[in-house]
Amino acid sequence: MSYLLSNLLRRTILLSIASSAPAKRWSPWQSLEFAGGQQVPRHRKTSPVMANMVEDSQDDRLSKLPDDVLLNIVERLGIVDVARTTVLSRRWKQIPAILSKVVILAGSFEPKHEDWSKLTPDDIVRANTTVLEATRSILERRAGSLYPIHLLRMQFYLGDESILIGQTVANAIATQKVDSAEFTILTKVRKKCTKNELLIYGKQFMSFFDSCPNAFGGLARLTLENLRLGESGFPKIFSICKQLEFLSLYECDMGIKSLLEVEHPQLSELVIVCGRFERVDLKWAPKLTKLKFNVFRCRDDPFCLGYVPLLQTVSIINVAFTWHKMLKLSELLDKAAISNLSLDFKSEKIWVKPEGRRQLLPVFHKLSILNLINIAEECDLTWTMFLLDGAPSLKELHILVRNHLCEMVTGKRRELPVVCKEKDKGLEWEPSTSDFKHHNLAGLSIYGRFHAVDKLVRFARNVVEAAVNLEDIRLYKSPVCVRCKYMLQEWTFEETSWLRYEFSKEIPSHVRIHFPSLGQVF
């Protein structure tokens, strides 16, 4: 009986979400909740008549469903969509009080456009009005509930009414047990804002912030975009958001060449994407474990590390122009002993400077995973050995060699004088001893199109010669992004036979060559 009911219920809910499937659009976070997952029949038309029929026949039976069964279904299918169906009207009254996961995302109310920039102002107004209604409908109905909310995740547009959302959340945090609260605050213009828009959004955000300090004070995660704040903006955010564990900033700053100083007792993950900071000074962040820098415009080191004793994972992504400095990792990562490092060159100029073992050891002695991503196909790869030489504990080395046209500077812009013509200039490197050996490297993974196969074979041979305990080499097809997803992802028999032959000419037979299929997309 209850199985039948849950099926019926699921079908009804699917009917209602088919029309409000999450919008697929550009987003550096991709955090949209896919209510209902694969089962959602996206193209199915919702017929109000049909929905009503289902409603009439099942409302009574729904009230017999045990709480835990209903809750399980509701949480898996996206509570907001459930809230919006009138199907549950009678039963719904009890549901908000027992929910443990409240996820309300503006993205899931927007019409499905391939391209987010096609969203009209009306779409946005409708989406954020629905967010406000859903927030109230769920949180206000929980008043007095003894069930804790484990996760309260909100994504909404910055607007005058954001304050009402903030106050509702602040009230929930004050009166109920909320383990983890999260805000993702979107701006109406999502990409390439003008200077003026950045300033307007910055002001608007700060007045929202000032009017709901209690909501911000309870957040564990905060994601912001397109804000140019005044001098006191970030210091205020850090001092009010005391619980903050995760902060992501996309095109946020305090003006061109501004300095961001980070002092925070709880922050464990910081993501900085674009923005015009001259430098981010991580002065005191005793719990910071992850740091990600994605594209920076400063000429010098983009960040400096102060007291960050737990920092383990660092990821740096940049397109280097002629005026960018060649970064010295020993100086940049000074005072940290990280274990996982990713460097992404976006198929343009290599922007790290080879250094000797003695300089690198203090920052690399714990390094166990190294990802070298998007090295342009025309680059020589010999320089990469300096990283192996300086990191004796390294266990896994992943290298992706490709010219990824979706990310590269293409067309007329390539002719601009700031675009580097020679991508591997200034990478001369001498090994510390003529026959240096590495004892810990266990796995080498090479991702690529294997067009310049000789270069990759030579690189693998150099690694094998140094890494005396290396037993496995994995060759992967170049990963694809959403834009080049039409490219074939699986190896063909001809390709693997050919590569096996090419590698066997130079690689000793005790090293096994594998051809796994790609389980991930970069």
- Give the nearest residue (CB) to ligand NAG: 159
Piece in contact with ligand NAG (CB under 6 A), picked from 11-19, 120-128, 176-184, 372-380:
120-128
End-to-end CA distance of the chain: 45
Q: Which amino acid is at 144?
A: G
Distance of alpha carbon 66 from alpha carbon 73, whole angstroms: 11
Number of residues engaging ligand NAG in binding (CB under 6 A) = 17
- Residue 313 in the binding site for ligand NAG (CB under 6 A): yes
Residues in a beta bridge with 290: 269, 313
Q: How far is the CB of 81 from ligand NAG (least distance, A)?
A: 19
Q: How far is the CB of 157 from ligand NAG (least distance, A)?
A: 5
Closest CA relative to residue 123, chosen from 112, 114, 110: 110
What 3-state DSSP class applies to 434?
A: coil
> Which of residues 293 and 450 has its CB atom nearest to ligand NAG in the complex?
293
Of the CA atoms within 13 Å of residue 246, those in its CB half-sphere come to 12
Neighbours of 295 (CB within 10 A): 16
Piece in contact with ligand NAG (CB under 6 A), picked from 34-42, 125-133, 141-149, 450-458:
125-133
Residues 153 to 212: which contact ligand NAG by CB under 6 A? 157, 159-162, 188
> Which of residues 171 and 313 has its CB atom nearest to ligand NAG in the complex?
313
> Which of residues 14 and 124 has its CB atom nearest to ligand NAG in the complex?
124
Closest CA relative to residue 41, chosen from 76, 78, 16: 16
Q: How far is the CB of 160 from ligand NAG (least distance, A)?
A: 4
Q: How far is the CB of 418 from ligand NAG (least distance, A)?
A: 28
Q: Which of 17, 247, 249, 369 binds ligand NAG (CB under 6 A)?
A: 369
Q: Which of 20, 58, 85, 128 binds ligand NAG (CB under 6 A)?
A: 128
Of the CA atoms within 13 Å of residue 480, those in its CB half-sphere come to 11
Distance of alpha carbon 338 from alpha carbon 1, whole angstroms: 55
Q: Can you read off the two tokens belonging to residue 366? A: 């714990």
Q: Which of 32, 79, 87, 124 binds ligand NAG (CB under 6 A)?
A: 124
Residues 442 to 461: which contact ligand NAG by CB under 6 A? none
> Which of residues 129 and 393 has its CB atom nearest to ligand NAG in the complex?
129
Piece in contact with ligand NAG (CB under 6 A), picked from 12-20, 48-56, 128-136, 374-382:
128-136
> Which of residues 129 and 167 has its CB atom nearest to ligand NAG in the complex?
129
Q: How far is the CB of 325 from ligand NAG (least distance, A)?
A: 22
Q: Which of 315, 359, 445, 496 binds ligand NAG (CB under 6 A)?
A: 315
Helix axes 195-211, 233-240, angle to 10 degrees: 30
Q: Which of 5, 8, 97, 125 binds ligand NAG (CB under 6 A)?
A: 125
Handedness of CA 497, 502, 505, 508 (dihedral sign): negative
Q: Is residue 475 packed enough to be buried (19+ CB in 10 Å), middle (13-18) or exposed (0-12)?
A: buried
String of DSSP letters for 275-320: --EEEEEEEE-TT--EEEEE----SS-SEEEEE-TT--EEEEE---
- Residue 129 in the binding site for ligand NAG (CB under 6 A): yes
Asked if 264 and 244 count as a contact pair (C-beta separation under 8 A), the reply is yes
> How does DSSP classify residue 257?
T
> Which of residues 70 and 338 has its CB atom nearest to ligand NAG in the complex?
338
Residues in a beta bridge with 281: 261, 304
Asked if 373 and 342 count as a contact pair (C-beta separation under 8 A), the reply is yes
Distance of alpha carbon 54 from alpha carbon 439, whole angstroms: 66
Q: Which of 132, 193, 288, 305 binds ligand NAG (CB under 6 A)?
A: 132
Q: How far is the CB of 159 from ligand NAG (least distance, A)?
A: 3
> Which of residues 124 and 352 has its CB atom nearest to ligand NAG in the complex?
124
Distance of alpha carbon 136 from alpha carbon 130, whole angstroms: 10
> Which of residues 149 and 185 has its CB atom nearest to ligand NAG in the complex?
185
> How does DSSP classify residue 325?
P
- Residue 382 in the binding site for ligand NAG (CB under 6 A): no
> Which of residues 156 and 503 has its CB atom nearest to ligand NAG in the complex?
156
Q: Is residue 284 packed enough to be buried (19+ CB in 10 Å), middle (13-18) or exposed (0-12)?
A: middle
Closest CA relative to residue 496, chosen from 480, 481, 516, 478: 516
- Residue 133 in the binding site for ligand NAG (CB under 6 A): no
Q: How far is the CB of 273 from ligand NAG (least distance, A)?
A: 14
> Which of residues 342 and 393 has its CB atom nearest to ligand NAG in the complex?
342
> Which of residues 121 and 144 has its CB atom nearest to ligand NAG in the complex?
121
> Which of residues 124 and 480 has its CB atom nearest to ligand NAG in the complex?
124
> Which of residues 162 and 248 has its CB atom nearest to ligand NAG in the complex?
162
Closest CA relative to residue 32, chosen from 100, 88, 96, 112: 112
Q: How far is the CB of 102 from ligand NAG (least distance, A)?
A: 17
Q: Which of 6, 46, 180, 342 binds ligand NAG (CB under 6 A)?
A: 342
Q: How far is the CB of 312 from ligand NAG (least distance, A)?
A: 8
- List of residues 6+ apart from 242 with CB closer than 8 A: 217, 265, 266
Q: How far is the CB of 416 from ligand NAG (least distance, A)?
A: 30
Binding site for ligand NAG (CB under 6 A): 121, 124-125, 128-129, 132, 157, 159-162, 188, 313, 315, 340, 342, 369
